[in-house]
Structure 1
């Protein structure tokens, strides 16, 4: 029998991706809107950290003690959460009560895990880290975005938009994914989806949900590059990008799951009810669709697009080598355009970030398919100059069918394992000699250093690393050295970002699969391997989670290796019990 937990908001602090995903699956009453939660659950031990997380959630509080609260209010609070919590495992809980005291409780994670073990919702009292009363704060107007300075170094301007800061709208209660096994009556009633008589008739006649959409794993679904509901999905992607820049990992995962389900749905959506039936799409996404259907856009997406702070962070986020955390750091230092970064922070940047700034405008240009093929063919030609017999697959967005790409990713392999050992340095030297590579940003030889074996499985240790970081590879800047001379004295061909990945033949199928598939497809493939097969997958190979041994899915029944890299990739699908999905059906955003 399912436990009757209160509505819970889960903090991402101190949780790695696997822990976060596991907890999301375990919590039957999970919400992704803090304003709907009775409990905010996170991995926190100290009051100071609890206050920090509350500030991040824009919840202003003043500390209270139990003696400050009315007796009746204390009784209501105890009953609303089945009393208070107990244990010591390290997570925080915030309780938003409907009583006049408006208290917020921060509790350790062990309250939830111990409740699961005990088979009953335990009292929270022993687990409280912090309790405060909500207080109102004056609305904060963000500082205006300065007009970008004109610079000889960078010619880039940011539009100065005097729009108010985006507000995160309150959504109705609903878990990030469907879980019909649980029935819960939230303390706060959810908003109802408006439905007319005609819409009810449409609902009765809705097309059946395809069998493949009854799974939460996007690696088991066909996801085309141009889905029927692409315009609505693009609006959701804008909101997800804002969540990314604001460091809301839980929100990013929730929107990614919803977007993946919507992208795999083969019919044009007609009603909010239809949306709510899809995995990962609760009432929140359903209400957003209703707004989109009525207006053709989403106010939240528009507000966040116009938010001056987010506009600056998006600019920084587009610099090669700058992740969302660094983009926020740049903004918090007072920098508002690229020239600020150059003038005040150049010496503190990594070499990758410096190159990303130097060629910022060129890296924003998309690469046509014909040019991707030309670059890839040049790389293969040089590989076979060094050692005959190399094979290559162009991966990334190109292989999924995109007409234009942001960069070029290629995977090289050779049937002779000795040929790929340390080969990344040889291919880079050859391309540099012929002036195709202008800058070499990163060369990794980790795979060769460990004897070209898959990354060792490190159990449940955090930050164990992934195969995407541990294959031999080079991140380089590419420029075609040939141009029509005539009066032109300077090479005007744009600089391009190119990743060259080297895989040993025995795991080339994993490398091609990992580097081809969309982000959510990759995430769900790893989750599927863990939950359904007891395996650890990354692009360097597959290992057993029970004993850490390498699992060879790419050799044939006779023990012979695959004849080519694409056959190896198909064998990985089959060995994992997955239906083959061509690259054009792995287009999860």
Structure 2
């Protein structure tokens, strides 16, 4: 039974990526717009920290004293539903793919004007988690850190006072909204300071979506059945969808969110992008966008701006933002995550020369190699070269132990014409052949002068006897859930060139060699092939719908932690090849087979 929670905004502060995503999945009334929230939920414990978080999100409030009567915390009136031709819609905005999706359209001005609550409570995370355990929404008073009455932000410049009469309010609300000068992510918008540094946590109440009479008269195609699910792993996601130009603009905004550390924004945009990629028709109106899972009013507003302007102002500003340009440069260094990129920027570094001059000795070996070969790693790898590198790896593998099979995974298998790196999965029907093999293949390729540097060499799978890791329940752990297969992440350069140059002119390439035991090779191929949002939703689907734990090293039961074998045949016989094993994983999970070219969720 779904508990009747008020509208909740979840603060990402003090939450790891996995914990944040898991909580988002559990909150049935989650909003990505702090202005819509009746309750702000956070892993915070002091009032001073609460006030800091509110300032950071540009939510201006006046504290409600203990002697005042607060508004009751109950489900928002904005959840009132309105019947429209062919669909039921709601005023709930920005529902990412983790929960029930709510197509959004403004049909009633009065209801919209009531949608934003005037008061807000900031409460401890324990209120929500203990309510789930109790099976009922617990009284909120004992968990409340702060109660406030929302105030309007002070304008930067004096502005004419807004009319207060209801007629004038409704008239303005119904007026054609001007495109935002920044655009907005689901849950936030941007401002630019005099120093060029943008604060990506500024939020504002959602505007109404203007609909013309002609747009109402457009007969829209029915939403495909597969888009009534919130799981991207149940939908086709082609390489080149019909609405690719608009999607590319959203991807630019998502990239900026990634660089600025806005985890919630990244997740919300990823859900919207995945839904739009799966939509098989050219978009005709903002209403059409609003009805898709994970999109809602804000993505619809962005589409309306894109249709009118041919671009998104926010994406344009992102591309011209000098700070983001530097963060992007640093983030593209192999071995530098977005957090490290921001650390480099905060040290005053602005280019690769600064890193070399002022911070070379503080870099890890992997980061030093990433800087050294930065320009070469930025060059894309054509499909023919990907195949050539993969065939050399397979040839050396079979010289060591005949019978190895290989699948080229990653973007190549999804149909990309050019790749950023080369990913291959190797496996062998003989379990003894894959044990410790990653070290053998690396040594062989080093001796043949193909591998110039080994960045990461992991033998975790061999060290545990090549058995799938039993799932350890709700035990807390850090990291991103990266699989535990044996793997080598290396720098590659073909040692053979035909020109008269004394120095090898062939660019260095990034190559990942993954070794999987045969009995879980299907999971390895599936995990290393599919797009990021496809993989995320596959794990979520397994958890929510099948009570399973999935990663590229196998499938485990969440009931008792044991390995679940979907890859063997009905009589226990192993799969004849790795691609058959992958198909069996889809079938075992109850998922329709999606070829790699339909897993391009971004």
Structural mapping, 1:152-167, within 5 Å: 165=198
1:361 equivalent to 2:375? Answer: yes
Cross-structure match for 2:127 = 111
SS at match of 1:78: coil
Partner secondary structure for residue 315 of structure 2? helix
Match of 2:71 in 1: 78
**Of 245, 267, 280, the match for 2:281:** 267
Pairwise CA distance, 1:113 = 4.0
Q: Which moved more, 1:34-43 or 1:241-250?
A: 34-43
TM-score by length of structure 1 reads 0.84
- 1:381-425 Cα deviation digits (max 9, x unpaired): 111111111110000000000000000000000111100000001
CA distance in 2, matches of 1:331, 1:109: 32
CA contact (8 A) 2:483 2:553 kept: no
Matches within 5 A, 1:448-467: 448-463=462-477
Cα 1:242–1:464 shift into 2, 3 Å: closer
Instruction: Report the counterpart of residue 319 of structure 2 in structure 1.
Output: 305
Structure 1 equivalent of residue 223 of structure 2? 209
User: Which residue of the other structure, out of 348, 366, 375, is the alignment partner of 1:334?
Assistant: 348
Distance 2:209 2:59 in 1: 27
SS in 2 for 1:35: helix
1:433: which partner in 2? 447
C-alpha change, 1:194 and 1:368, in structure 2 (3 Å) is same
Q: Does 1:231 align with 2:215?
A: no
Equivalent residue number for residue 24 of structure 2: 24
> What is residue 46 of structure 2 aligned with on the other side?
46
Q: Pick which of 257-266 and 30-39 moved more.
A: 30-39
The change in CA–CA distance for 1:536 and 1:325 in structure 2 (over 3 A counts) is same
- Answer yes or no: is the 8 Å Cα contact 1:544–1:551 preserved in 2: yes
Whole-Å separation in 1 of the counterparts to 2:155 and 2:316: 25
How large is the Cα RMSD of the aligned pairs?
A: 2.8
Q: Give SS of 1:477's match.
A: strand
The CA deviation at 1:246 is 1.8
Q: Distance in 1 between matches of 2:54 and 2:202?
A: 17
2:143 matches 1:127: yes
What pairs with 1:94-493 in structure 2 (closer than 5 Å)? Answer: 105-115=121-131, 122-130=138-146, 165=198, 170=203, 190-202=206-218, 205-463=219-477, 468-486=482-500, 488-493=501-506
Q: For residue 503 of structure 1, give the secondary structure of its aligned residue in structure 2.
A: strand
Indicate how the Cα distance of structure 1 residues 392 and 117 shifts in structure 2: closer, same or farther if over 3 A, else same.
Answer: closer
Structure 2, unaligned runs of 5 or more: 76-113, 158-190
Question: Which position in structure 2 is the counterpart of 1:539?
Answer: 552
Deviations 1:284-336 (A, max 9, x none): 11111111111111112222222222221111111111111111111122222
1:402-456 CA-partner distances (Å, limit 9, x unpaired): 0000000000001111000000011001111111111111100000000001122
SS in 2 for 1:66: coil
Q: Matches of 2:52 and 2:395 in 1, distance apart?
A: 55
Q: Which residue of 2 aligns with 1:497?
A: 510
**Aligned 8 A contact 1:506 1:555 in 2:** yes
Are residues 1:520 and 2:553 paired?
Answer: no
Structure 1 unaligned residues grouped into runs of 5+:
83-97, 145-162, 173-189
Alpha-carbon distance between aligned partners in 2 of 1:119 and 1:457, rounded to the nearest angstrom:
25
TM-score normalised to the size of structure 2? 0.82
1:66 match: 65
Q: Structure 1: how far apart are the matches of 2:398 and 2:595? A: 28
CA distance in structure 2 between the aligned counterparts of 1:577 and 1:560, rounded to whole angstroms: 20
Contact 2:38 2:121 in 1 (8 A): no
**Bigger shift: 524-533 or 7-16?**
7-16
- Work out whether residues 167 and 303 of structure 1, in 8 Å CA contact, stay in contact via their aligned partners in 2: no
Cross-structure match for 2:90: none
1:356–1:137 Cα change, 3 Å: farther
Shift of 1:234: 0.9
1:143 Cα deviation (Å)?
Answer: 7.5
Q: Which residue of 1 aligns with 2:562?
A: 549
